[in-house]
Amino acid sequence: MIEVDGTLKSRLAVWLSVTVTALGALLLVEAYFSSQRAAERAYDSQLESAALTIAEAVQWQEGQPVVEIPAAALQIIATRHQERVFYAVLDAEGRRVSANLDIPIPAEWRTQVAERPVWTNTEHSGAEWRLHGWEFDSAGWETQDPVQIWVGHTLAGRQALTGELFEGAVSRFLVMVLVAGLLMLLAMRVALKPMRRLRQLLRQREADDMRPLDARVPEELRELAETLDTLFARQRESRDALLRFTADASHQLKTPLSGLQSTSELALKSTRPEEWHRALTAVHQGAERTSRLASQLLSLARLRHVADGSGMNRLDLAALLRETVFDWAGRDVAQGHDLGLAELPDTPLYINGEPWALRELLGNLIDNALRYTPPDSVITLGLVKRGGEVELYIEDDGPGVAPEVMERLHQPFERGGRQDTEGSGLGLAIVDSIARRHDARLKVAPHTPCGLRISVSFPLENRP
């Protein structure tokens, strides 16, 4: 029974959505940190420019640095976000020459600035500040003492710029996701188009159309198309075999029925009782052969098309063989033959099988041997254990069959070139069907010095 378990489109959409979401989350995290770094670089460059502008305004009077903070320097630091700004000019002793806020500059910062420019964050008056310190050599005539310039501002502008840059990245990402979603739907529609073509091609086929598929498919659908072609080929072979079987069965049934009709017509034209008796005897024998043929046809049909193997049980093949041979040995049809058993193994040989089917197999093997061998022939059945298998065999010393027909003896209505018997040619076909049903192998071989040997190898059942 076919159960619908979602759609390929939904599965592709879910997996693609999960992938896009995961990658999008990583991209958004990277976009945020990239925006933060860009804002840091932009505002740090402003602090550096403001420090240079202030440095250019430093002058010396009476050996002391004097600075008048240019308005341009404050305009550089102060942004449209109304940040609080800070500047301080320190002399070589660390004294403040000019400053607008009392943000402390620790001695270790001043020491570091003497070696290289310093960028640092600090907290003052409940706000977080970004400070930049730079030490310049003074340009005075009387002294060459260095001057440290510190500038800074609060982080509101940086945070605002980071938000603006991140919002732009998010907007572009959302547009990209929307476009990617539309392209994904289009791509899925185009990618699944070969499946729709294949589905339409199969729907347009007639029920008896078993030709190979004539379609262009991508590599991913090649295996499915080849599997369908293989299935069509098997169905075609099965249909042809069924048609041949039906034609052969009709022919086999028509022949005895025509004989019965001719015999009965001749008897009806006669007025002598002895003619009627001979006609009734012939009709009885013909009806018996026809009944046996119909029974074999029903058995073969049951094995090939009806039975499902649900009656498999663990059974002792040696016990079943012994019981079946003893039953056939007591029948009238076996009185003119030497039907017997070879020495069987001492231990039970268990297989997984259906008792009725195995009795049918043994019955057809014995019946074939009785019908296709002359009276006084020796017919022997036995079992041989070979590794993980048990071989059931039947051999006789009859005339055997020609080597060229031995391989097709298991085909329906094949009599091995013999037309002098009452056999229908279905016995070995039934045996072959039962063997396949039990995962067994049928083998037909000549028996030395004369006759035929038929064996069926079953897998042993080792479970207790």
Are residues 330 and 232 both part of a single domain?
Answer: no
The answer to whether residues 51 and 136 belong to one domain is: yes
In whole angstroms, what is the distance from residue 321 CA to residue 353 CA? 13
Question: 395: helix, coil or strand?
Answer: strand
Helix, strand or coil for residue 347? coil
- What DSSP designation does 460 have? B
Could you give the number of structural domains in the chain? Answer: 3
Q: Give every strand in the sheet of 96-99, ordered side by side.
A: 96-99, 85-90, 146-154, 127-137, 118-124
Does 280 fall in a domain? yes
Residue 420: per-residue pLDDT: 47
User: Based on the domain organization, do 40 and 17 belong to the same domain?
Assistant: yes
- 80-124 pLDDT, tens digit per residue, is 665 788 888 888 788 888 888 888 888 898 888 888 999 999 998
354 inside domain: yes
| 314 and 452 part of one domain | yes
Phi, psi of 67 (to 5 degrees): -135, 135
State how far the Cα of 188 lies from the Cα of 15, in Å rounded to an integer: 13
User: For 7-21, how does the pLDDT look when each residue is reduced to its tens digit (9 = 90+)?
Assistant: 777 888 888 888 888
Q: What is the pTM of this model?
A: 0.47
Residues 433 and 324 in one domain: yes
Find out whether 463 and 314 touch, Cβ atoms under 8 Å.
yes
Q: Which two tokens stand for residue 371?
A: 């019908």
8 Å CB contact between 72 and 78 = no
433 and 333: one domain?
A: yes
254 and 322 in a single domain? The answer is: no
Nearest in space to 165 (alpha carbons), one of 41, 38, 42, 40: 38
pLDDT score for 430: 81
Q: Which of 304, 330, 351 is the last residue of a domain?
A: 304
Q: Which of 74-78, 269-273, 299-303, 339-343 has the lowest mean pLDDT?
A: 299-303
For 98, phi then psi, to 5°, come to: -155, 140
164-184 as b/e, with b when 16 or more CB fall inside 10 Å?
Answer: ebbeebbeeeeeeeeeeeeeb
Q: What angle do CA 377, 379, 381 make, to 5 degrees?
A: 175
Helices (H), 208-272: 219-269
For residues 303 and 422, which has the higher predicted lDDT (pLDDT)?
303
Cα 443 to Cα 435: distance, rounded to the nearest angstrom: 10
Cα–Cα distance list, 6 to 9, 10, 16, 199 (Å): 9, 7, 16, 17
Q: Provide the CATH number for the domain around residue 91.
A: 3.30.450
Q: What sign has the CA pseudo-torsion 406, 408, 412, 414?
A: negative
- CATH number, domain of 317, equals 3.30.565.10
Answer for the pair 294, 256: CB distance below 8 angstroms, yes or no.
no
The confidence score (pLDDT) of residue 422 equals 55
Question: Does 392 share its domain with 453?
Answer: yes
Same domain, 260 and 129: no
Q: Is the pLDDT of residue 298 over 50?
A: yes
Over the chain, what is the mean pLDDT? 81
Res 419: pLDDT:
47
Please state the rounded mean pLDDT for residues 340-354: 89
pLDDT (average), residues 152-165: 87
CATH of residue 223's domain is 1.10.287.130
Q: How far apart are CA 271 and CA 279, in angstroms?
A: 12
Which residues are paired to 380 by β-bridges? 340, 395
Asked whether residue 179 is domain-assigned, the answer is no
Query: What pLDDT, in 10s, does the model give residues 251-270?
Result: 556 667 777 788 788 778 78
Please give the pLDDT value at position 436. Answer: 86
User: Quick check: is 146 in a domain?
Assistant: yes
Return the half-sphere exposure (C-beta side, CA atoms, 13 A cut-off) of residue 5.
Answer: 3
- How far from chain centre, in Å, is Cα 286? 57
Widest CA span of the chain, in angstroms? 168
Q: Are 179 and 99 in contact (CB under 8 A)?
A: no
How far CA 331 is from CA of 292, 306, 366, 422, in Å, comes to 16, 30, 12, 17
Same domain, residue pair 426 and 320: yes
* Residue 193 included in any domain: no
Residue 417: what pLDDT?
A: 47
Query: Which of 269, 286, 304 finishes a domain?
Result: 304
In angstroms, the CA 100 to CA 122 distance is: 16
Domain boundary among 141, 163, 185: 163
**Which contiguous run of DSSP H or E holds residue 77?**
helix 71-77
Is residue 2 pLDDT above 70, yes or no?
Answer: no
In a domain, 263, yes or no: yes
Tell me which residue of 49, 55, 70, 40 sits closest to 130, measured CA to CA. Answer: 40
Tell me which residue range forms the domain holding 298.
Answer: 219-304
Question: Which phi and psi angles does 432 have, rounded to 5°?
Answer: -65, -40
Helix %, strand %, coil % of the chain (to 5): 55, 20, 30
- Name, of 56-70, 277-291, 302-316, 448-462, the range with top average pLDDT: 448-462
Confirm whether 332 is domain-assigned: yes
CA geometry: angle 263, 264, 269, nearest 5 deg: 100
Residues 318 and 296 in one domain: no
**Structure token pair of residue 201:** 């091609």
- Assign 412 a pLDDT band (cuts: 50, 70, 90): low
What are the angstrom distances between the C-alpha of 58 and each of 53, 95, 97, 416, 446?
A: 9, 15, 10, 124, 122
Assess whether 252 and 335 both reside in one domain. Answer: no
- The answer to whether position 100 is within a domain reads yes
